[in-house]
Every structure is written in structure tokens, then in C-alpha cells.
Amino acid sequence: MSKKVKPVKVGVIGCGTICRMTYMPNMMNKFQVIDVVGVADLIPERSKAMAEQYGVRQMTNEEIYNDPEIEVVVNLTYPESHFEVSRDAMLHGKSVYCEKMMACDWEEATELMRLAKEQGVCFTTAPDTFLGAWEQSARFYVDAGIIGKPVSVHAQHTCAYRPSNAKFDLSPDTFFFPLHRGGGLPFDWGGYYLHTMLNILGPVKRVTGFAGNYEPVMQYTHPAHPKYGEEFKIDTPTSIFGALEFECGAHGTFHLTSESYNSDNFIMTGTKGTLTLGNPNNFDGTLVLKRANAHVKPRMMPGGPQPNGAPVAASQLGEFARPEDTELPMLFGYNDSSRGVGLADMCYAMRNGRKPRAHCDIGYHAMEVIHGMIESANTGRIYEMTSHFERPEPLPLTNLVGTGQEDSLNN
């Protein structure tokens, strides 16, 4: 029987796109355990607008750090500020929930891990999409053996990022972090793919990679941009092609570039089947299973459809047996825009004295995978991972829906 817990007071730093679009609506309306006290931003107009819209206090970073009521700082700044804001919050004794990735590089991330331990504060990191419907369902099915023993996972996300906007980087409001330190696509989108892999397959043992930039210098290409035609230096790896070896024995590929054009592919294979995964940036998605003894559609059977339309197991079809796509049902909630569920889970974890599911150990491990691939690219050697994490507890299976499903976090 769940017991009511006292909501956790939080201060939000960073009132940009994701705060406006998702976090504030969810923190204010979706999760009862989160109590937003105030918001801050480098651009005061942004925090003012947010404070007015939601009836919370407009604050400065310092006011948030020094407010004795605030227990958690929610760091929604862009990656270049993650380290500074999380560090300052921890130094003031605050627990921290930080958007992805936790820092710009391995050294910064290592310092934050040290500081969180030293200060005895709770530190969790995004992405929290791995707590969503398709991701929790995928983990449930794979744990249950639906694809047999996992063999491989293939993650591919490619797109095109170029300084082609008329206002690109002209002010903090138009700063485009994916072409800056710590924000490149392998960090930005890579974080989603890695958290999914880690949540399902567990820790990585070693990695290799090739990393770099095909176009290390780009041009401002919008005719209305004041620097039109001038060159722009890219200070983050925008392409990584890596390979992973998991402790469980499975292997993986990691193919992320923002210097190409759009494509996505996310597949897990096992000794008994193949699972096509959803988009790890989204809470909702589909899971498609192919395995030898899946049920085939009647029209695929020898002799055409059965009179009663009943499916027949492919294993009964002898030489005609063939794998067939089967879309698996979703077994969990949070199938809509639910960013902040990792923060809500953290708040319940703090109240109930358990480990939060989005614990920094998993974010730190994901960070080391990327760091290791870059190291491997620079040295030409396989990189042995040094960090470790325990797979987060899966969410409990529940028949609760809507905002009532928050009860499943209260344990």
C-alpha cells in the first residue's frame, strides 16, 4: 500500500526550449511529488515569462542555491553550463537532476561524481525516456527471453546540422548547442541510444571507435546572417562510429553523425529472434519482433487463408516456416510526453530511501562509452571501461493509467 509522501521542493535553472515545451508543464501538472518553487535563467526575460506563466518565483541561480527550502536543483541549461550549475548546486548541498549529458567531457563528469559523493547529495541524469512505455516493455520482453540470448544491438541516427539559420549563435537565445563543446550529436542523441542499451543489456566492458568531423569548418549559409559566408569552427565531434562489447557478451554498434542526412535504425538481435526498437527520444514507440516460431498471418500459409482465419504457428508449417513481423503490445504506462518522470522517480527515491532509477551511475557510464570511443579514435586502441553501474530497477507492472500511474513510482 503506497503512502503519501511530502512533495520535494525544486528550483529550475535554464528556461529554454525543453523547459518551456515539456518540463514545466509536466512538473506543474503531471507529477504530484514535484513542487516547483522558482525558476532562473541567464536571460532574465525567459525566467520572468516562465515564472509569470506558472505562478512561481523568478529567481537567480544564487537565490536557488541559497534557498533552504529547495532540495533539488533541476539543471535544464545547455550542455556547456551543466558542469558549472550542477557543481555550484552540489557545493550548496543541493541534490541535482541534470539534463543530458551530465557534462561536456569525462574530466568534468568525474569531478561531479566525486563531488556528489563528497557532499552526500542525490545526483540523477537524463535522459529519462528509458522509463517510458516502449523502453520498459522492451526490457521486460528481452529479460523474459523473447529474442533468446542477446547477440547484438545496432544504433544508427544520422541527420544534418549546419549553421544555416539567420540568427544562428548570435545571442544566448539562438545558441545552437549541438555544434558546440559537449553538445554534438553523439552526446545529444547518443545519450538516448546508450541509455536504452545500458538499461536492457547492462554495463559495457570495452569500446572502440572512430570519431571526428567531416566538416570541421562550416560556413554561415543564411544570406540574412550578419556573418554570411564567413567560416565557423566546430568544437565538438559531430560523428562517431563505434563498437561496444557488453559484459553480458552481446556486441553493439553506435553510428551517430550530424554531417549527413536523416536516417534511424535501432535493432536488437538474439539467438532466437530480432527486435526492432522504437525511437529512444520518445516515450511512445513500437516494438516489432521477428522470430522463427512467431505466428504468421493466414494469407502467408500454404493453401491460403484458413477458413476460420485463425493464425497458425510457423513452426507447424515445416519447410514453409518463415519469420514474420509481430508487433508486441506495450505493457507499461508513460507512453506520452513524460520528461520529468526520472525527476519524479528521484523525488520518491529520496523520500522512500531507495536508489533512483536515473541514478548518475548510468549517466556516467554512458559518458564513458563516448569518451572511450573518442580515446580509441585518438590512440588506435581498444578502450577498457573503468566505470560500472547496476541496471536500474524496472518499473512495476501496473494497470494504472493517466496521472494515477505516478503511484507506481512511490516505492
Ligand X SMILES: NC(=O)c1ccc[n+]([C@@H]2O[C@H](COP(=O)([O-])OP(=O)(O)OC[C@H]3O[C@@H](n4cnc5c(N)ncnc54)[C@H](O)[C@@H]3O)[C@@H](O)[C@H]2O)c1
Question: Which CB sits closer to ligand X, 61 or 238?
Answer: 61
Of the candidate spans 35-43, 113-121, 318-326, 386-394, the one that interacts with ligand X by CB under 6 A turns out to be 35-43
Question: Which CB sits closer to ligand X, 334 or 383?
Answer: 334
CB 168 to ligand X: min, Å: 12
CB 84 to ligand X: min, Å: 6
Give yes or no for a contact between 322 and 296, defined as CB atoms under 8 angstroms apart.
yes
Backbone φ and ψ of 85, nearest 5°: -70, -45
Whole-number Å distance between alpha carbons of 411 and 348: 7
CB 274 to ligand X: min, Å: 28
Q: What secondary structure letter does DSSP report for 128?
A: -
Question: Which CB sits closer to ligand X, 44 or 305?
Answer: 44
Give 155's strand partners.
254, 266
Question: Which CB sits closer to ligand X, 45 or 143?
Answer: 45
CB 411 to ligand X: min, Å: 26
Nearby residues of 313 by Cβ (< 8 Å), 6 or more positions away: 293, 294, 295
Q: Which of 30, 46, 157, 291 binds ligand X (CB under 6 A)?
A: 46
- With CB atoms as reference, the residue minimizing the distance to ligand X is 16
Query: Site residues for ligand X, window 166-195 (CB under 6 A)?
Result: 172, 175, 188
Query: Site residues for ligand X, window 196-255 (CB under 6 A)?
Result: none
Of the candidate spans 41-49, 223-231, 365-373, 397-405, the one that interacts with ligand X by CB under 6 A turns out to be 41-49
Of the candidate spans 40-48, 320-328, 329-337, 365-373, the one that interacts with ligand X by CB under 6 A turns out to be 40-48
Give yes or no for a contact between 37 and 11, defined as CB atoms under 8 angstroms apart.
yes
How does DSSP assign 303-325, residue by residue?
TSS-TT---EEGGGGGGG---EE
Joined together, the cell numbers standing for residue 19 give 523547459
Q: What Rg do the C-alpha atoms of the chain give, in angstroms?
A: 23
Give yes or no for a contact between 209 and 242, defined as CB atoms under 8 angstroms apart.
yes
Whole-number Å distance between alpha carbons of 184 and 202: 24
Whether omega for the bond prior to residue 127 falls within 30 degrees of 0, making it cis, is yes
Question: Which CB sits closer to ligand X, 41 or 67?
Answer: 41
Which of 256, 278, 126 has the alpha carbon at shortest distance from 178?
256
Q: Torsion-angle region of residue 66: left (phi > 0), alpha (psi -120 to 50) or beta?
A: alpha
Query: Site residues for ligand X, window 55-114 (CB under 6 A)?
Result: 61, 76-79, 81, 84-85, 99-100
Whole-number Å distance between alpha carbons of 79 and 284: 25
Number of residues that bind ligand X (CB under 6 A): 25
Question: Which CB sits closer to ligand X, 174 or 386?
Answer: 174
Q: How many C-beta atoms surround the C-beta of residue 153 within 10 A?
A: 24
Of the candidate spans 16-24, 130-138, 158-166, 193-201, the one that interacts with ligand X by CB under 6 A turns out to be 16-24
Question: Which CB sits closer to ligand X, 13 or 37?
Answer: 13
Question: Which CB sits closer to ligand X, 16 or 150?
Answer: 16
Which parts of this chain interact with ligand X (CB under 6 A)? 13-19, 40-43, 46, 61, 76-79, 81, 84-85, 99-100, 172, 175, 188
